[in-house]
């Protein structure tokens, strides 16, 4: 996700690239949660729900992009803001994921 948000401006369909990478992130997270054992799922239920909700919030930034462009803002400026927001927010999301994984004993 971080690379896509850094390089999206270099591509004709930069927003499509970022969207694709976001969908990959979401699918990877869903795949990750499918590997957790019942105890990890139970112990981390709240955190996992918050991480999932965080992805939903990240996804809303794509609607903001569409609204910006629909409102007359240049696609390049809207894409630059989308990438900045996603870069920062996905970094925070990843920190939370790592913290939650450490607490649940995932990856040891």
List the domain boundaries for the chain.
2-104
> What's the chain's length in residues?
108
pLDDT band of residue 12 (cuts 50, 70, 90) is: low
Please report the pLDDT score of residue 4 as a whole number.
59
Predicted TM-score of the model (pTM): 0.86
Count CB-CB contacts under 10 A for residue 21.
Answer: 18
Q: Are 86 and 61 in contact (CB under 8 A)?
A: yes
Residue 72 main-chain phi, psi, to 5 deg: 105, 0
């Amino acid at each position: 996700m971080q690379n896509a948000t850094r390089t999206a401006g270099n591509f004709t369909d930069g927003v499509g690239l970022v969207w694709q990478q976001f969908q990959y992130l979401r699918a990877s997270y869903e795949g990750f949660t499918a590997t957790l054992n019942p105890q990890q799922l139970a112990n981390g239920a709240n955190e996992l729900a918050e991480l999932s909700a965080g992805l939903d919030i990240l996804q809303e930034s794509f609607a903001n992009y569409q609204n910006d462009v629909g409102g007359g803002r240049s696609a390049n400026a809207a894409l630059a803001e989308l990438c900045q927001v996603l870069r920062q927010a996905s970094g925070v999301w990843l920190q939370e994921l790592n913290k939650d994984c450490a607490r649940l004993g995932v990856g040891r």
